A and B are shown apart, each in its own frame.
Chain A
């Protein structure tokens, strides 16, 4: 599990690599929250193109970060999800709050 950050304007892009399960949640939460504070972030995009596995622990991570960005009056989105991840996201109802887009460009345009 690894996360890499990049910025596009006031949008923080979080690229997640590997398996997102309970074991990796603490690490990823700390990483993202640390980054949220230090940059001038308004919106947050999760790039899941390199997520090879996710269970419901991932929902908690996404929801928790969404709440944090909401406090800053920001929005969140998810891009590049595979079939297995999409099913879990749909099941959780999270998509009503955090939309999934096909790619980064569309997500960033929609968050502006």
Chain B
């Protein structure tokens, strides 16, 4: 399956860019004419992934988050990439309610939200090198 379109953006790991990232992803995905609910799913998942990159990847230190969106006929694959500290135990990090930052009142639901709002979530990480989260979602072919 070859992508029909692609966008790459890179932005500072600042919390004010969380809204920017999810709006960019939603605007790009809009080309496939998704439902409002599907769009909300994408925005929410991107928001979780980018927030993780900022809080956990870079721990609020300066750095860049890269987002690559690949559009297919009826699906999207969004990669959120940081070059931060990486995740030691990916399986643990994906557990519902697990958070390494309870003092920040983090709910530990980030990956759970991504998994339930997208069709597939893949996590690649290397300690000291960074993390890539790949979010995949197919859209219902309505109106076609």
Contact = CB atoms under 8 A, between A and B. Distances in A.
B109 A56 contact: yes
A31 to B, nearest CB: 14
B18 A64 contact: no
A53 B110 CA distance: 15
A59 B107 contact: yes
Contact of A55 (B47, B55, B116): B47
Given A22-B18, A84-B37, A91 B105 contact: no
Interface string B87-115: 00000000001000000111101101100
Given A53-B43, A56-B110, A25 B48 contact: no
Interface string A16-58: 0001011101000100000000000000000000000101110
A88 interface: yes
Say whether chain B's binding surface is mostly helix, strand, loop, or mixed.
helix
A60 B97 CA distance: 11
> Which interface class (under 10, 10 to 19, 20 to 34, 35 or more) fits B?
20 to 34
A91 B116 contact: yes
A111 interface: no
| Residue of A56, A60, A63 ringed by the most chain B CB atoms within 10 A | A56
Contact of B16 (A23, A53, A57): A23
Contact of B19 (A19, A83, A88): A19
A23 B107 contact: no
A98 to B, nearest CB: 13
Which 9 A-B pairs give the minimum distances between C-beta atoms?
A: A59-B107, A23-B15, A56-B109, A60-B105, A64-B105, A55-B47, A22-B51, A84-B40, A60-B107
